[in-house]
Amino acid sequence: MEAKKPTAILRMHCPDKPGIIAVISDFITTNRGNIIYLDQYVDHVNGVFYMRVEWELENFLIPSEKISEYFNTLYAMRYNMTYRVSFSKRRQKMAIFVSKMSHCLYDMLARYVAGEWDVEIPVIISNHPDLAIAGKQFGIPFEHIPVNRDNKEEMEQREFEILDRYGVNFIVLARYMQVLSENFIERYPNRIINIHHSFLPAFVGAKPYHQAYERGVKLIGATSHYVTTELDAGPIIEQDVVRISHKDTIDDLVKKGRDLEKIVLSRAVEKHIQRKILTYDNKTVVFS
Amino acid sequence: MEAKKPTAILRMHCPDKPGIIAVISDFITTNRGNIIYLDQYVDHVNGVFYMRVEWELENFLIPSEKISEYFNTLYAMRYNMTYRVSFSKRRQKMAIFVSKMSHCLYDMLARYVAGEWDVEIPVIISNHPDLAIAGKQFGIPFEHIPVNRDNKEEMEQREFEILDRYGVNFIVLARYMQVLSENFIERYPNRIINIHHSFLPAFVGAKPYHQAYERGVKLIGATSHYVTTELDAGPIIEQDVVRISHKDTIDDLVKKGRDLEKIVLSRAVEKHIQRKILTYDNKTVVFS
Amino acid sequence: MEAKKPTAILRMHCPDKPGIIAVISDFITTNRGNIIYLDQYVDHVNGVFYMRVEWELENFLIPSEKISEYFNTLYAMRYNMTYRVSFSKRRQKMAIFVSKMSHCLYDMLARYVAGEWDVEIPVIISNHPDLAIAGKQFGIPFEHIPVNRDNKEEMEQREFEILDRYGVNFIVLARYMQVLSENFIERYPNRIINIHHSFLPAFVGAKPYHQAYERGVKLIGATSHYVTTELDAGPIIEQDVVRISHKDTIDDLVKKGRDLEKIVLSRAVEKHIQRKILTYDNKTVVFS
Amino acid sequence: MEAKKPTAILRMHCPDKPGIIAVISDFITTNRGNIIYLDQYVDHVNGVFYMRVEWELENFLIPSEKISEYFNTLYAMRYNMTYRVSFSKRRQKMAIFVSKMSHCLYDMLARYVAGEWDVEIPVIISNHPDLAIAGKQFGIPFEHIPVNRDNKEEMEQREFEILDRYGVNFIVLARYMQVLSENFIERYPNRIINIHHSFLPAFVGAKPYHQAYERGVKLIGATSHYVTTELDAGPIIEQDVVRISHKDTIDDLVKKGRDLEKIVLSRAVEKHIQRKILTYDNKTVVFS
C-alpha cells in the first residue's frame, strides 16, 4: 500500500438529530483537519445516528491526546454520543487461537507477512500442539494451553497472563474448538472474532456441515461474528455462501467450507483492523 | 428453443450395485434408442444409486406404452428399483396459487407466454381477488377461493374440483399465504412447489425478513422446496442469497427479496418441468 | 413502500477541497432541512469530490423553486461545482424501446404495476409489432416505428415527436436491436440506459453469447450502461454474472442470460429513477 | 480425507456415436471393476463425446500396466478415441513458478501441508530471490533463475534441467511475471496453469486492474487457464468475479483481486490434480 499520512478515526452513535454531520465535519474542518473518509448511517427504526470520520492529523490544531477530551466536552455530552477516537499510528495487537485446523491460520499469516494488514500478531495460542510448526515457520511465539472442560478456569488464567504480557487488543478464534467462559468473553467485549462454519442462524452449535448435509441445503455458509456469552449468537460481521449439490459428501462440504471460512474470517478481521465496525444492539454497522 | 425429437425420460434409484449403468444403457442402445442425456449419482453414505437417462424414441423398438412394463420386468424388479418413465411429448399442467403479491406470478407468466417453459398453465387460484387482473391480462382462468382457517376443508374441496377439472399435474405456491391441510399435501406428494423467503432452515415460519433484520444477517435468502406436512421442512430444490448491509431497512429486504424469490422459484419450477428432480429421504437430487 | 415526505435531492461534483461536506450540510440544516440521506465520495486520483444529499422539504425555509438559484449563488460558483437539484415529487417519465424479446419488458412492467418504481411509463416503442400485446395487457400505448438502416433519420424524427408528446425524461433500451444515431444519443445524454448481454468490455458488439461460447468462458455476464456514441462503451451502471459450464449450449447461455439481463437492467433503471447515479469521465458513481 | 482404494481413471473423447457409454461401462464391469465415478458429456454442436470414468482396481481382472493396451485394441481404435488412463496411486509432481507476490504461493503451500491435495511439490522456481523465505518455511527447494528478455533461452534451459531433475509433471504460474518462450510452452502442452488477474477475454495483457479501473467496471475477475503460445488465450479452466464500486481505488482492486486470484488458481490446480479436466478445441471440459 502507499504511505499514508497519520489520521484520527472517530466512530460514534447517538440519538438521531438534524445537523450532527454539519457539526462534526465543521469541528474537524475548522481545526484544519482534512477529512479523507466520512460515512454515516441513520437507523430510522430506532432513531440512531452512526458515523465514521477519518481525517489527517498533519495540520490539525488540537493535539492528538486532547482530541477525545475536546470532542467529549463540545459535542458528545450535548448529543448524548457513544464514541471512540482511534489513531492510525497505533498498531493493534491481535492474538490468534487455533486448535488443529490450519487453513484460517495460514491465510492470516500469509496476509501478515505480505504486509496486507496494519496489525501485529504477537502470539498464537492453542489447546493442541499440532500447529506449533506454523508459529515456527512465521516466527511467532506459539503457546500450548491444553484447556479442557475440567481445567478451563485455570487455563484461562494462563491465557490472560499471556494476552496481557503481549498487550493483546483483540482475539481471533481461527476454528478454535473450545467454548470460552463467560468471564473470558466479558473481558474482551466486541474484541473476540469467531468464524462459525454455517450461515447463522442456521445450524448453530456442533457439526454444522453434518447438519447441512442432513437437511439437504443447496448452499453452505460461513459466518464471522463477535463472541458473546450466548453461543453463536453475537453480532454478525460478515457472511458468505458457496453452492453445493447433491453430489457433495460431508467431506466435500468440509473442503468447500474451508475456503469460505478463511475468506469470511479474514474479511471480518480486516474490517476490525481498519476500525470500520460499530456494534449496537447485537448488530454491526460495517462501513465500506 | 429448437425443435426436439420426442424422447423418453427414465428417472430411477435403487440400492447401489456394480453394472447398473451398463445394463440400462445397453437396454436402450440395443433397442435402438439414441441416448441424448445420461447423468447418475451414487450416494455412497446410504448406498443408493440415482440415474436420469433420456433417449430419442424415433427408432426405439419398444412401443412407448410398453416401455415401463418391459423395464419393470427386465430390470426394476431385479435391482429393486424405484423408477418413473416420462415422455417429453406429454405436456404437464401446472396450477399457480397466489395471494396478493404479484412478482412471482408475473415472472412465471412472462416465461410462459415467451415459450420458455414446456408446460401448460390452465388456472390460477387465489384466496384474494386482487390478482384477477393478471389472469385477465394473460388469458388464464382465475379462480377466487376465499379460504381461511374456518372454512379450509370446504374450500379445499372446491380447489380439488378445479384442479381435477383442469387435469393439473403439479402446483406452484407463488407467495401463497395460506397453509395447506395435510389432506391437500398428501394428495400431491412432491408435486407442490413453494417459495419461502429465507435461507432455510434459518427463519422458518412467519415474517422471515423481520427475523433476518432482527438477527442482523449480512445476506438474505430464498428457498424453493416441495411441500410436506411439516412447515418449511420439505425437500429443498433451490436456494440463493443476496447481500444486504446495515443500511437496509425491512422494506429494503422485502424489495431485494422479491427478485431473489422469483428467480429461485422459477429455477425450481423449470427443473420440475424438465423432470430433472429426484426426491429421496427428504432431499432432492437435481440433475443439471 | 411507506408514504415518504417530499424531499429535495442534490447531486454534485467539484474539485476536492476541505470543508465541502460541512458547508453543504450546514446550508441545509441552518435552513431547517432534515437530511435523511448523505453519501459522498472523493476520487483522490483525479481530485474530485462527489456527493448526494437528500433532505425533507417540510420546514425548509427556501422555496423549492429557489433552491437551485440560492445554491448556485452561495456555493456552486465558489467551489466550481457541477450540480443538479431534483425533487421527489416530480415523477419521471420513462419510455421503453423493445424489439422482439419480451423478458426485460415484462420484468419492468411487472414492477411498474406492482408499484415498485416511482416512475411513469407513458409509451413503449418498437421496430417490430410483436410485443404490441404487452402494451395492450398493461394498458400502455405501443408505437410501432419500423426503423431500419435506410430510413433511420426519418423514423427517429417520428420517435422524437412521440417522446416529446409524452414528455419522456429518459429511455430504456430493453434488448432493442437497433443502433441509435449520434443525433439521437446526443439528444439524451446519460438518459438512455441499455442492457448488453455480456460482461463488458468482453464481447462487444453482435452475438456476445456466441462469442462467449467460442471462447469457452466459465461465467457469462450482462452489463447495463448509459448509451454514448461509441458502441457498448458508455458509462457502466451495473453488471453481474452467472456460472456456466461446458455442458451449456449457446441456447442454454441465451436462457441463463435472460434472467441476468432483466435483473441487471432493472437494477440500473431503479438507481436512475432514484437519482442515485452521477456520471463523470465515462464512469458512474452509484450511491447505495 | 478418508483412505481411498486405488483407482484407474479414464478420460476420453471421440466422435459421438450411440452406445459408447454402454460399451465402456460394460468393459469395466465385466472385468470386475467397480465404477465409483462416471460423468460424460456430448457436444452436439461438434458431435464429440467426452467421458471420465473412475473405477476401483481391487478385483479388476486386467493388470494396471495392460489396461491402456487392452482399451486401445478393443475400443479406442474402433471408435477413433483420444484417451488417457491414469492411476490414483501415481502422485503427480507440480512445480510452482513465482515472482514477488506471495498470496497464491502461500495459499497453495498451506493446502499442501494440510494434506488437501494429492500432489507433491518438489520445487519452487522464481526470477526473483524475494520468496526464498517461503521455500525455507515449508521445506521446499527454491531455485532462483534470474530470467529476463535477453537471457531467456539460456535460463529456460536451466529451468528444464531442474524440472527434469525433479520429475515435474505440470507447472503452476502463481503470478509469475515472465512470458514463457514458445519452446517452453510446447514442452508442457496443457500442463502449465496460469492465473490472469482479469475476467478474460476482458483486459488481456499488462496491468488488468488499471484497465478495469479506467473502464469503470462494477466487477473484477480472475481467470485460470492453460498456457498456450498466444498470450492469455489458452483454454479457460476456472473464473470468478468480485463486486467493486466507484469507491475502490486501483489499490483496492489489487487487494480484492488477491483473494480472488488465489481461490480461482487453487480451484483450477485442484481439478488438474484430480484429473478432471479434458481439453479440446481450446476449451476445457471440467467434470464435477
**Nearest-neighbour CA in chain A from B285: distance (Å):** 5
Measured between alpha carbons, how far is D53 from D37 in angstroms, rounded to an integer?
A: 6
In the predicted model, what is the mean pLDDT of chain B?
A: 94
Reported as a single tens digit per residue, the pLDDT across D82-136 is 999 999 999 999 999 999 999 999 999 999 999 999 999 999 999 999 999 999 9
Measured between alpha carbons, how far is C25 from C12 in angstroms, rounded to an integer?
A: 13
Reported as a single tens digit per residue, the pLDDT across C122-164 is 999 999 999 999 999 999 999 999 999 899 999 999 999 999 9
Assigned C-alpha cell, B101: 403479491
pLDDT at B38: 84
**Is pLDDT at C2 greater than 70 in this prediction?**
no
Beta bridge partners of D173: D97, D194
pLDDT at B106: 98
pLDDT at D23: 87
| Between B23 and B163, residue with greater pLDDT | B163
Measured between alpha carbons, how far is C269 from C108 in angstroms, rounded to an integer?
A: 9
Instruction: Report the interhelical angle of D103-113 vs D250-273 (nearest 10°).
Output: 40
* ipTM value > 0.90: yes
D126 phi/psi in degrees, rounded to 5: -145, 150
Interchain CB contact of B208 with A (< 8 Å): no
**Nearest-neighbour CA in chain B from A247: distance (Å):** 7
Chain A residue closest in CA terms to B248 = A43
Start-end of H helices in D188-242? 208-215
Measured between alpha carbons, how far is A188 from A178 in angstroms, rounded to an integer?
A: 16
Chains A, C: CB pairs < 8 Å: 40
Per-residue pLDDT averaged across D162-185, rounded? 97
Confidence of residue A139 (pLDDT cuts 50, 70, 90): very high
Interchain CB contact of D38 with B (< 8 Å): yes
**Is pLDDT at C3 greater than 70 in this prediction?**
no
Q: Which residues of B touch C288 (CB under 8 A)?
A: 245, 247
pLDDT at C17: 84
The active-site residue, picked from C43, C130, C232, C240, is: C232
Start-end of H helices in chain C? 20-30, 64-71, 77-79, 103-113, 132-138, 152-165, 182-187, 208-215, 250-273
Interchain CB contact of A274 with D (< 8 Å): no
Kind of pairing, strands C34-43 and C48-56?
Answer: antiparallel
Assigned C-alpha cell, C43: 476520487
**Is pLDDT at B41 greater than 90 in this prediction?**
no
Nearest Cα to Cα of residue C93 among C66, C120, C127, C64: C120
Reported as a single tens digit per residue, the pLDDT across B60-119 is 999 999 999 999 999 999 999 999 999 999 999 999 999 999 999 999 999 999 999 999
Confidence of residue B37 (pLDDT cuts 50, 70, 90): confident
pLDDT at A130: 97
Assigned C-alpha cell, B45: 453414505
CB A239 within 8 A of CB A223: yes
Kind of pairing, strands D236-243 and D219-226?
Answer: antiparallel
Measured between alpha carbons, how far is C214 from C223 in angstroms, rounded to an integer?
A: 20
In chain A, positions 240-269, which contact chain C (CB-CB < 8 Å)? 243
**Nearest-neighbour CA in chain D from B19: distance (Å):** 6
pLDDT at A3: 58
Measured between alpha carbons, how far is B55 from B51 in angstroms, rounded to an integer?
A: 13
B50 phi/psi in degrees, rounded to 5: -120, 145
Interchain CB contact of B88 with D (< 8 Å): no
Chain D residue closest in CA terms to A110 = D106
Cross-chain Cβ contact C236/D245 below 8 Å? no
List CB contacts of A62: < 8 A, sequence separation 6 or more: A31, A70
Lowest mean pLDDT among A67-81, A273-287, C40-54: C40-54
pLDDT at D19: 75
**Is pLDDT at B40 greater than 90 in this prediction?**
no
Choose the closest CB to C246 out of D215, D245, D284: D284
CB B79 within 8 A of CB B15: yes
Assigned C-alpha cell, C229: 456514441
Cross-chain Cβ contact B25/D29 below 8 Å? no
**Is pLDDT at A162 greater than 50 in this prediction?**
yes
**Is pLDDT at A1 greater than 80 in this prediction?**
no
Choose the closest CB to A219 out of B217, B218, B239: B239
Q: Hey, is C44 helix, strand or coil?
A: coil
Assigned C-alpha cell, B179: 397453509
CB B97 within 8 A of CB B176: yes
Q: Which residues of C touch A26 (CB under 8 A)?
A: 22, 26
Could you say which DSSP state residue B174 is in?
S
CB D89 within 8 A of CB D56: no
Q: Hey, is D139 helix, strand or coil?
A: coil
The active-site residue, picked from A26, A130, A232, A259, is: A232
Confidence of residue D55 (pLDDT cuts 50, 70, 90): very high
CB D221 within 8 A of CB D240: yes
Measured between alpha carbons, how far is A200 from C175 in angstroms, rounded to an integer?
A: 40
Lowest mean pLDDT among A163-167, A214-218, A256-260, C22-26: C22-26
CB C198 within 8 A of CB C223: yes
**Is pLDDT at D229 greater than 80 in this prediction?**
yes
CB C52 within 8 A of CB C10: yes
| Between C223 and C5, residue with greater pLDDT | C223
Percent of chain B topping pLDDT 70:
99
Measured between alpha carbons, how far is C37 from D168 in angstroms, rounded to an integer?
A: 59
Q: Which residues of D touch C247 (CB under 8 A)?
A: 41
All chains having 3 or more CB pairs closer than 8 angstroms to chain D = A, B, C
Q: Measured in whole angstroms, how far is the alpha carbon of residue A85 from the centre of its chain?
A: 17
Cross-chain Cβ contact C283/D216 below 8 Å? yes
Cross-chain Cβ contact A249/B219 below 8 Å? no
CB A174 within 8 A of CB A265: yes
Task: Tell me whether residue A232 is one of the annotated catalytic residues.
Answer: yes
Q: Which residues of B touch C238 (CB under 8 A)?
A: none
Kind of pairing, strands C92-98 and C82-87?
Answer: unpaired
Q: Hey, is A166 helix, strand or coil?
A: coil
C91 phi/psi in degrees, rounded to 5: -75, 130
The active-site residue, picked from B107, B232, B248, B281, is: B232
**Is pLDDT at B1 greater than 70 in this prediction?**
no
List CB contacts of C63: < 8 A, sequence separation 6 or more: none
Could you say which DSSP state residue D127 is in?
S
Measured between alpha carbons, how far is A82 from A94 in angstroms, rounded to an integer?
A: 24
Q: Which residues of C touch B259 (CB under 8 A)?
A: 263, 266
Interchain CB contact of A137 with B (< 8 Å): no
Q: What is the DSSP string of C62-111?
A: S-HHHHHHHHIIIIIHHHT-EEEEEETTS-EEEEEEE-S--HHHHHHHHH
Cross-chain Cβ contact D21/B19 below 8 Å? no
Measured between alpha carbons, how far is D51 from D287 in angstroms, rounded to an integer?
A: 9
List CB contacts of B133: < 8 A, sequence separation 6 or more: none
Q: Which residues of C touch D235 (CB under 8 A)?
A: 216
Which position has the grid cell 432513531?
Answer: A47
Reported as a single tens digit per residue, the pLDDT across D115-125 is 999 999 999 99
**Is pLDDT at C47 greater than 80 in this prediction?**
yes
Q: Which residues of A touch D2 (CB under 8 A)?
A: 251
Confidence of residue D3 (pLDDT cuts 50, 70, 90): low
In the predicted model, what is the mean pLDDT of chain C?
A: 94
In the predicted model, what is the mean pLDDT of chain D?
A: 94
CB A11 within 8 A of CB A83: yes
Reported as a single tens digit per residue, the pLDDT across C72-129 is 999 999 999 999 999 999 999 999 999 999 999 999 999 999 999 999 999 999 999 9
Reported as a single tens digit per residue, the pLDDT across B208-235 is 999 999 999 999 999 999 999 999 999 9
**Is pLDDT at D2 greater than 50 in this prediction?**
no
pLDDT at B2: 47
Interchain CB contact of B215 with A (< 8 Å): yes
Q: Hey, is C238 helix, strand or coil?
A: strand
Q: Which residues of A touch D245 (CB under 8 A)?
A: 288
Chains B, C: CB pairs < 8 Å: 45
List CB contacts of B31: < 8 A, sequence separation 6 or more: B60, B61, B62
Kind of pairing, strands A170-173 and A92-98?
Answer: parallel
Measured between alpha carbons, how far is C64 from C57 in angstroms, rounded to an integer?
A: 8
Interchain CB contact of D284 with C (< 8 Å): yes
Q: Which residues of C touch A21 (CB under 8 A)?
A: 21, 25, 35, 38
pLDDT at D288: 87
Nearest Cα to Cα of residue B81 among B33, B49, B110, B120: B49
Assigned C-alpha cell, C49: 469530490
Positive or negative torsion for Cα C44, C48, C49, C52: negative
CB B216 within 8 A of CB A254: no
Instruction: State the catalytic residues of D.
Output: 232
Nearest Cα to Cα of residue C259 among C244, C245, C270: C244
Reported as a single tens digit per residue, the pLDDT across A192-246 is 999 999 999 999 989 999 999 999 999 999 999 999 999 999 999 999 999 999 9
All chains having 3 or more CB pairs closer than 8 angstroms to chain B = A, C, D
The amino acid present at A206, given as its one-letter code, is: A
Q: How far apart are the first and last CA of chain C?
A: 18
Test mutation, B217, B260, B287, chain A, max A CBs within 10 A: B217
Cross-chain Cβ contact C201/D215 below 8 Å? yes
Largest CA distance in chain B: 64
Choose the closest CB to D241 out of C215, C219, C235: C219
Interchain CB contact of D115 with C (< 8 Å): no
